[in-house]
Every structure is written in structure tokens, then in C-alpha cells.
């Protein structure tokens, strides 16, 4: 558990560095319960950072954090594409990769327009590994559930904190698509070994 939390804090520290370069961050082998707990901790820390903000300060920080959150999902999806065997899960990982890459590009465009620095690319500083006997497919599904839930929670907060029409539209889309994927992943976990 402590190793999982250390990884989460390292990832979050890199995320909060706001564009400063960092060395490679390698995921340590950890059990599923520890990873889920650390993902929940990271999500809670991001929400805590966003809650006191309003207006442009909120929009900028939300966009930076959501960009980095999406970049973590890219690394997880790439791992599934490389190591997974279930055609449904791999197809979904490709969809996650495509959709979130488009959203990252959109958010980076907003940051440029607002004169804010682009956040560090988390996916280039993260190596995904897993331990234990679960398949890559099952790993992807179980880790994406709390990851998506974090994005949904951040998007719900955006609905109450921003007046930016584009950001509101993206937040609504994240809530809709990632909530549906959470339900799908929970269903698939009943059959995926």
C-alpha cells in the first residue's frame, strides 16, 4: 500500500510540476487493491486542488489536470493494446486512446489561447507494469474504473465552477462517455479472466 501511494504521489507531483521536466517515472509492481486505493487518493488530491478555484483560475487548472489525467489513461490504453488478448477490451482501449488524444489536443489548444503553459506529458514519463496473475485485459478494466471515476468527478465539479461553454461541453461529454464505459467495464469484468 505504501509503495502504491508513493507512486501516486510521484505521479501527482509530476502533474503538479506544471510543465517542468522530470525524469522517468516507472510504475512499481503492486496489487490491485493498492493501485485502486492510490488512484482514489490521486483523484481526491486533484479535486481538493480544484475546489477552491473559480472562473479562469478554475478553467486553467482543470484543463491542466484533466490533460494529465487523460495522458495517464493513454499509457494504460497503450499497455492494453500491447499486452491484452480480449478483442472487446482491446477495441475499447483503442477508442479510449483516440477519444482522449483528441480531447488532450483540444485542451492544449485552450491552454495556448489562455497563455498558460502546456502541462508535462505524463504518458512519456510513465511505464505501466502489473504484478500478479491477472490478465492485462482484467488489469485494464479494473484500473480504468477508478481512473474514469476520477475524470467523471472532476467533470461534475466543472459543471458548478465554470462558465466556459466549451469546457462545459467537454465536461458533459466526459460524464456521459466515461460513466457508460465504467458500467461496461463492470459488466465485462464478470467474464474477463
Q: In sequence order, what DSSP letters do the residues of 26-71 get, joined into one string?
A: EPPP--HHHHHHHHHHHHHHHHHHHTT--HHHHHHHHHHHHHHHHH
Sign of CA dihedral 79, 100, 193, 34: positive
- Summarize pLDDT for 112-155 with one digit per residue, the tens: 999 999 888 766 656 666 556 789 999 999 999 999 999 999 99
Q: What's the pLDDT at 67?
A: 96
Question: pLDDT at position 8, please?
Answer: 40
- The number of residues in the chain equals 193
Binning pLDDT at 50, 70 and 90, where does residue 37 land? low
pTM for the model: 0.80
Which letter does DSSP use for residue 18 in this model?
A: T
Q: How far is it between the farthest Cα atoms of the chain?
A: 47
CA atoms within 13 A on the CB side of 107: 28
Arithmetic mean of pLDDT over the chain: 82
pLDDT at 185 over 60: yes
pLDDT confidence of residue 17 = 42
Block residue for cell numbers 461541453: 169
Quote the CA–CA distance of 156 and 153 in Å, as a whole number: 5
- Determine the 3-state secondary structure of 191 from DSSP: coil
- Ranges assigned E (strand) in 51-153: 126-127
Q: What distance in Å separates the CA atoms of residue 67 and residue 108, rounded to the nearest whole number?
A: 8
On the question of pLDDT at 19 being above 60, the answer is no
Helical (H) or strand (E) element with 25: strand 25-26
- Grid cell, residue 69, equals 489525467
Q: What is the pLDDT of residue 181?
A: 98
d(CA 54, CA 95): 32
Q: How many CB atoms lie within 10 A of CB 95?
A: 13
Q: State residue 39's pLDDT score.
A: 84
For residue 25, what pLDDT is reported?
Answer: 33
Which pLDDT tens digit goes with each residue over 77-90? 999 999 999 999 99
Scanning the structure block, which residue is given the C-alpha cell 489536443? 105
Cell of 3: 509503495
Amino acid at each position: 500500500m505504501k509503495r502504491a501511494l508513493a507512486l501516486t504521489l510521484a505521479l501527482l507531483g509530476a502533474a503538479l510540476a506544471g510543465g517542468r521536466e522530470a525524469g522517468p517515472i516507472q510504475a512499481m509492481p503492486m496489487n490491485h487493491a493498492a493501485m485502486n486505493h492510490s488512484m482514489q487518493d490521486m483523484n481526491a488530491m486533484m479535486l481538493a486542488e480544484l475546489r477552491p478555484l473559480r472562473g479562469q483560475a478554475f478553467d486553467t487548472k482543470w484543463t491542466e489536470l484533466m490533460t494529465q489525467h487523460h495522458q495517464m489513461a493513454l499509457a494504460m490504453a497503450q499497455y492494453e493494446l500491447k499486452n491484452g488478448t480480449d478483442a472487446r477490451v482491446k477495441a475499447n482501449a483503442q477508442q479510449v486512446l483516440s477519444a482522449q488524444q483528441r480531447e488532450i489536443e483540444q485542451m492544449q489548444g485552450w491552454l495556448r489561447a489562455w497563455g498558460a503553459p502546456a502541462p508535462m506529458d505524463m504518458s512519456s514519463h510513465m511505464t505501466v507494469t502489473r504484478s500478479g496473475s491477472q490478465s492485462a485485459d482484467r488489469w485494464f478494466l479494473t484500473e480504468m474504473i477508478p481512473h474514469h471515476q476520477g475524470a467523471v468527478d472532476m467533470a461534475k465539479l466543472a459543471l458548478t465552477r465554470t462558465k466556459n461553454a466549451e469546457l462545459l461541453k467537454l465536461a458533459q461529454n466526459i460524464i456521459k462517455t466515461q460513466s457508460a464505459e465504467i458500467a461496461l467495464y463492470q459488466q465485462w469484468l464478470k467474464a474477463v479472466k
